[in-house]
Amino acid sequence: MHIQASEIADVVGGELTNGEDVTVTGATIDSRAVAAGQLFVPIVAARDGHDFIGSAVAAGATAYLTSQPPRAEVAAAAITCADTATALADVGRLVRRRLPERVVGVTGSVGKTSTKDLLAGVLATTFITAASEKSFNNELGLPLTLANAPDDTEAVVVEMGARGVGHIAELCSIARPTVGIVTRVEGVHLELFGDIDAVGRAKGELVESLPADGIAVLNADHERVIAMAGRTSAQVLSYGLTPSADVSATDITVDAALRASFRLHTPWGSTQVSLGARGEHQVSNALAAAAAAGGLGVPVEAMADGLLGAALSGLRMELHTTDAGVTILNDAYNANPTSMAAALRSLAALDGRRRIAVLGTMAELGADAPAAHEQIAQQAQSLGVEVIAVDEPSYGTFARHVGDVAAAVAALDDLDEGDVVLVKGSRVAALERVADALG
């Protein structure tokens, strides 16, 4: 989105100094990823982003925000503000006023990134669509998504994460979504939320924010989600495997590459769908995408095209075979009990000589963590899956334990043609390194 530096200064309550009133094109907080003409927003965290203003401008940024005195030696427009993170949110609000009313917020304990990706693929069949990159779903990533939307954007999909009650409400104050999708409410991040009721309260802030003429897309297969219908004045569209859902699926099959096909039923018609995304659990995410897209006017035939062609963010159910004939299922982006169980079922569905799961920690589960890890290891055993646990003793006696990634790779030195390996853990484990080492 093209924005005048003076407009930014006005909206953040700051002052434009050190340069002309340039037009910026989008924004970034990463000096290593600057595109020509962008606004650089230095964030103060473990490292102070102000230290990278010079390198950001050298890389092509034409203006920068700053809560420090402007850098006289830096040849770019400086926009002063009290706090750069708060100012970035204000920039997001400024851009939102220029966007159309097709803004979809996606939240949930599980599946929000995949649902966002699938919906972006479907909407793109009919509208010029912008969507959150990867899992840019917090108070920094969401306004960046808005700021980087093209000027001619016709629809936007933003992912919304939460670390506590009130976070999604704050994101909604920036994005002002007109459509909201809630996928699931599960006992994840309980170290932060305390209990699952708090998780439900937080996720429901999305539907509470919707205007009366908006659309709440709710998972009919999950009681805590469909109950959110009572928390919104917007139209409710339900989705799920429940036959009574507004958008549902029948005749589900899964091929040898874990890609699901099904008959899609919607208020706008029915069609046959084949997913490009892997895993039977993606059917539910696809139904959520179809419901939101249909509510925004996408024809049902276009839904099928979009769902087939949609590209998922990286490290999610990536399947490849090494030169040695070993199949790797890389689902290492993140993990919680629900997604871990789905990944194990996918692993068990693959043809293979041996099936091995290299599992890292499932973070932020609070007091439930030891039992949750042990249950996953037991489920793996029941599916005939060997478990190699990386630096996570809670998987217990059902797993072979190693201390780090190097030891995990060494433990796999007897892999042979026809073996299948799942790699999965929370982001802190970074187990994609195992997949990379295996080829």
The residues, any chain, with a CB within 8 Å of residue 429's CB and separated by 6 or more, are 332, 335, 360, 361, 390, 391, 392
Q: 420 among the known binding-site residues?
A: no
Q: 295 among the known binding-site residues?
A: no
171 in Cβ contact with 160 (< 8 Å): yes
60 in Cβ contact with 37 (< 8 Å): yes
User: Rounded to an integer, what distance in angstroms lies between the CA atom of residue 345 and that of residue 289?
Assistant: 23
Token couple for 48:
């102070």
Tokens 């925004």 correspond to what residue? 296
Tokens 């982003």 correspond to what residue? 49
Q: 306 among the known binding-site residues?
A: no
Number of C-beta neighbours around residue 45 at 10 A: 10
Q: 108 among the known binding-site residues?
A: yes
User: Rounded to an integer, what distance in angstroms lies between the CA atom of residue 154 and that of residue 172?
Assistant: 19
Phi then psi for residue 325, to 5 deg, are: 85, 15
DSSP tally for the chain: helices H, then strands E = 15, 22
Across the beta sheet with 327-330, what order do the strands follow? 318-321, 327-330, 420-424, 355-359, 386-390, 400-402
User: Rounded to an integer, what distance in angstroms lies between the CA atom of residue 361 and that of residue 239?
Assistant: 31
Which spans in 155-274 are helix H?
A: 167-175, 190-193, 196-209, 223-226
151 in Cβ contact with 1 (< 8 Å): yes
Strands 259-266, 248-254: pairing is antiparallel
User: Rounded to an integer, what distance in angstroms lies between the CA atom of residue 168 and that of residue 207?
Assistant: 10
Q: 114 among the known binding-site residues?
A: yes
In angstroms, how far is CA 345 from the centroid of its own chain?
Answer: 21
189 in Cβ contact with 163 (< 8 Å): yes
User: Rounded to an integer, what distance in angstroms lies between the CA atom of residue 124 and that of residue 302?
Assistant: 9
Q: Rounded to the nearest 10 degrees, what angle do helices 282-295 and 112-123 cross at?
A: 40
3-state secondary structure (DSSP) of residue 32: helix
Residues in the chain: 439
Task: List binding-site positions for ATP.
Answer: 108-114
Task: List binding-site positions.
Answer: 108-114
